[in-house]
Structure 1
């Protein structure tokens, strides 16, 4: 199943967000893959600081991994540059697929 969602950066943090993701922790990458998350891309609309994410899932949603210590540390690491919930999880809005060309 392919899912998409959007998140929001705090203004001016596009480069920092990219830098942090270019250095994604190996243990976080491994955790996502172990939980059947693949083909994961995040795009940035620089005009609105909106992040658009798309991922292929063959199991649990990556959003279901919030109880994992690695994920919680990543959320805390990213909380200073993103709009987050009280638990530091990114504010995330699921998007409905309305078209797909295969």
Structure 2
């Protein structure tokens, strides 16, 4: 299992809507995430800055990378774009974080 963490950025006025949309995550999105090797996926919000901290465990980098090409992921990115900083392809601006400690 590969542990991944990243930082994303949400607009301050949309904290509640961001949480609501994740509380109501589409079933087909859940299925696709798991089909692409995702487990133990969590996102945390630092309210003062709008920084999101995402943590996910994946089976392989190659399998995870193909998630971005799925229709459901593209639909999700379009749905979430008004709430957060995004790239030109509507993917969230994400900064990958380097692991510096792990206690098993």
Please, what TM-score do these two structures have when normalized by structure 1?
0.95
Greater share of helix:
2
Q: CA-atom RMSD, angstroms? A: 1.1
Q: Does the aligned pair in 2 maintain the 1:28–1:71 contact within 8 Å? A: yes
1:21 shift after superposition: 0.1
Q: Deviations over 1:52-101 (max 9, x none)?
A: 00000012464542111100000000000000001110001100000111
In the TM superposition, 1:85-96 aligns within 5 A as 85-96=87-98
Which residue of 2 is the match for residue 28 of structure 1? Answer: 29
Quick check: 1:42 aligned with 2:43? yes
Aligned residues, how many?
Answer: 102
Q: Does the aligned pair in 1 maintain the 2:85–2:93 contact within 8 Å? A: yes
Gaps of 5+ in 1: none
Alpha-carbon separation, structure 1, partners of 2:71 and 2:94: 19
Gaps of 5+ in 2: none
Please, what TM-score do these two structures have when normalized by structure 2?
0.93
Q: Does the aligned pair in 1 maintain the 2:36–2:66 contact within 8 Å? A: no
